Structures are given as structure tokens and as C-alpha cells.
Structure 1
Amino acid sequence: MKGRLKRHGIITAGALALFLAGCQAGEKTEDRGAAGDTDNATTEQSRQEDSSAENGGMDHMMHGGTGEVPEGLKEAGSPAYPVGTKVMMHADHMPGMDGVEATVSGAYETTVYSVSYTPTDGSEPVKDHKWVIHEELENPGDAPLKPGATAVLKADHMPGMEGAEATIDSAQQTTVYMVDFVPEDSDQEVKNHKWVTEDELSAE
């Protein structure tokens, strides 16, 4: 009888030891999984930040707007693409923009600039941002400003843009358009995107 009880005790103790070992292994596996998830998230965040820097910060661009235009901006008299026209876009200011259909929601005559600046929110410097129009600069004087000139931005196309000092990279007098479109990488419509130049559009 004592022998059977002793053997039973040994078997029970052995089973308990196996159970505890299994729990510890499971906990270690879960810990490794959690650590892996954290590593993957960190890697993905780094990849997105690197991509944003390479694209001049365009991933942070505010996709839509209210449709309000700066004071003094004149509507185009006879634009190539009147309001309501369906067009194809050939611009990559934002992800999912190039090669998609858009509807013109506004057409204006002005001077447009590509600019470089350091955002006021501490973000990485933005190079060759397209586009800012003359009416979105603080007290710019007569248009056009020459490349290399500096001006303070009133535009808020991107976080940290308004109030930043910018350097003019290029300037051209042309018709600019506001457009509505659905990005290639999304199913949500972008309303009143500012700005697209006439040579970045074509008829369908």
C-alpha cells in the first residue's frame, strides 16, 4: 500500500512539474511574440518616417480643404479646364495622386512657387514643396518672386507650414486649379486639393 502511494506521489509530482514547465514555455513564447510585435511596429514606423523624409514630407499633407481661397486671388477668365471638368492628374504631390481622375473645383490666375522650408512644429525640413501661390505669402510684394528669395508662408497645406519662412525654389505664372479626387490608395474623396498647375492635368 505504501509503495503504491509513493509511486502515485511520484507520478503526481512529475505531472505537476511538466505542467509548470509547459506554462513557463508558453509565457516565454508569448513574451517573444509581444517583443516581435513591438519590433515589427518599430520597424514599420521607421519605414514610414524614412519614406516621409524621402518624399519631402508629402505624406503629412492635409488632403482636403474648405474651398476657401486667399484674399485677392482672381478666378481664371477662360481656363483650359473649367469648373466641373473631368481631368487626369499627372502630379505626385501626395501618395495615390498621380494618374487618377479628378474634377476641377476652382481655376485661378496667379504665380505659383515651389518652396523649401523648415516646419514650425519641429518636423524635418521640406524640400521643393509644390505648390504655394503668391497670395499665400505674407506681404510678398510684386509677383513673381525670384528663386532664392525668402517669404513667410500663410498657407496651411501641411502641419507646421503656416508661419514658416520659405525659400523660393521656382516660380511660374499660370492657371492653378483646386480639384476633387479619390486617391489610388484610398476610397475616401479628397475635396478642394490645393494646388495643381495646368501642365499637371490633361483631358480624359
Structure 2
Amino acid sequence: MKRPRIWHGGLLTIVAVLALSACSKEVADTEKDAPAEQHTEMDHSSMNHSSSGEVPATLKNAENPMYPVGSTAIIKDGHMEGMKGAKATIVGAYDTTAYIISYEPTTGGQRVENHKWVIHEELFNPGSAPLAPGTEVKTDASHMEGMENATVRIDEAQQTTVYMIDYVSTTNNDVVKNHKWVTEEELTKKQKDVGAV
């Protein structure tokens, strides 16, 4: 009577192992065949969070910015992890046209869509501002790897005050110096306004 029980238990173990193997393969195949659009979020890991602080010679200081140089503000709309909710110190304030752009990195890799921001003064021979959406022009901005000398497509133009800021990342406490750029609309004076965005 014992033999059938042992044999029966062994058979159940084999069946269970085979079932688990098939399940694992199915999960792996599902992940492998997942639609590409799930992985198309823009990666800002190659973005130069800090900069030398140099600005184009033709860039004009804002005459009466909402956030004067030396003042502080809260970043309510950040372009990358660690920005939103961080306290920013204003390093520079400039009146210009800011652009949302898309481009193929000169270093290769995935096309970058809807990058914020490049300013008019960072474009090669752009002519008069603002440029119309769809316009293609080269930039000498180096905010991200592969951006400098890239041909960019203008997606949106915004006449605004842009700010160069210092801030401490809310995710890893890295100190970021002379970050380019945030617009006036992306800053607030009140911490409570951040959660409402």
C-alpha cells in the first residue's frame, strides 16, 4: 500500500515542476513581447543637471522678473526626477523665447521628443523669434548628451522669463548648480501649490 502512495507523490512533484517551468516561460515571453510604447518615456539620465553658468552673449537679463536673482522659489513642474518640490535659488533671470523641441541625438540612440527647454539664443542663425512649430534648426545647447549641433524640430514656442537655478534634488540630495532652464510658470512661491500641479 505504501508503494502507490510514494509513486503518486513523486508524480505530483514532477507535474508541479513542469507547470511552474511553463508558467515562468510564459511570463518571460509576455515581458519580452510587451509593446514598445511602454518603454518610450524620455530618459533624462544623460541630462547635464549642472552647468558652468555661461549664457549666450545676446541673452538679455529680465528687467523685472517675478523671481529676482538671489531669491528662492519652489519648483512645481520639474523636467526630471528630483526637481518637483525642490527649493530653487535663482541664479539668473532672462527674457526670451523658450522652445519645446524634438531631435535625433548626434551620439545616436532613441529620438528625444518634447524636450524642455532650449532658448532662442541657443539656436544657430534662427532669425526672428518666435519660430513656428515644425521649423527645423540647429542648436549649440548642451543640456543633454547628443544635443549639441543637433538639428531640432520646434514643437512649441513660449515667450517668457527663463531662470537658471541652483537646487538640491529631492530624491538623492545631489546639489545641482546653474540648471538651465525653468520657466516662470514652472515655479511658485508656495510649497502647497506643488501638490496641486
Same fold by TM-score, threshold 0.5 exceeded? yes
Asked if 1:66 is matched to 2:48, the reply is no
Amino acid at match of 2:133: P
Between the aligned residues of both structures, percent identity stands at: 52
> Offset of 1:54 from its aligned partner?
3.5
Give the aligned partner of residue 84 of structure 2.
98
Indicate yes or no: 2:123 matched with 1:137.
Answer: yes
Per-residue CA deviations over 1:135-174 (Å, capped at 9, x if unaligned) read 0000000000000111101100001000111100000111
1:75-114 superposed matches below 5 A:
75-114=61-100
Q: Which runs of 5+ in 2 are unaligned?
A: 1-35, 191-197
Q: Which has the larger radius of gyration?
A: 1
**Larger relative helix fraction:** 1
Contact 1:59 1:95 in 2 (8 A): no
Aligned partner (choices 174, 193, 199) of residue 160 of structure 2: 174
2:133 to 147, 169, 173: 147
Kindly provide the amino acid, as one letter, of the partner of residue 196 in structure 1: V
Is contact 1:117-1:167 (8 Å) kept? yes
2:41 to 50, 55, 67: 55
Q: Partners in 1 of 2:41 and 2:129 — Cα distance?
A: 28
2:105 aligned to which of 119, 123, 131: 119
Q: TM-score, normalised by structure 2?
A: 0.75
Distance in 2 between residues matched to 1:184 and 1:58, nearest whole Å: 16
Structure-1-length-normalised TM-score? 0.73
Residues in 2 aligned to 1:196 and 1:54: alpha-carbon distance in whole angstroms: 23
Mapped to 2, the partners of 1:137 and 1:112 lie a distance apart of 11
Distance across 1 between alignment mates of 2:151 and 2:119: 14
Q: Provide the alpha-carbon RMSD of the alignment.
A: 1.7
Runs of 4+ residues deviating >2 angstroms: none
3-state SS of 2:152 partner: strand
Matches for 1:23-62 after TM superposition, within 5 Å: 54-62=40-48
Rounded Cα–Cα distance in structure 1 between residues aligned with 2:129 and 2:43:
27
Letter in 2 for 1:88: I
CA contact (8 A) 1:61 1:94 kept: no
2:92 is aligned with what amino acid? G
After TM superposition, give the deviation of residue 101 of structure 1 in Å: 0.8
SS in 2 for 1:59: coil
**Cα separation, 1, equivalents of 2:53 and 2:165:** 10
- Contact persistence 2:78–2:186 (CA under 8 A): no
5+ residue gaps, structure 1? 1-49
AA in 2 matched with 1:126: V
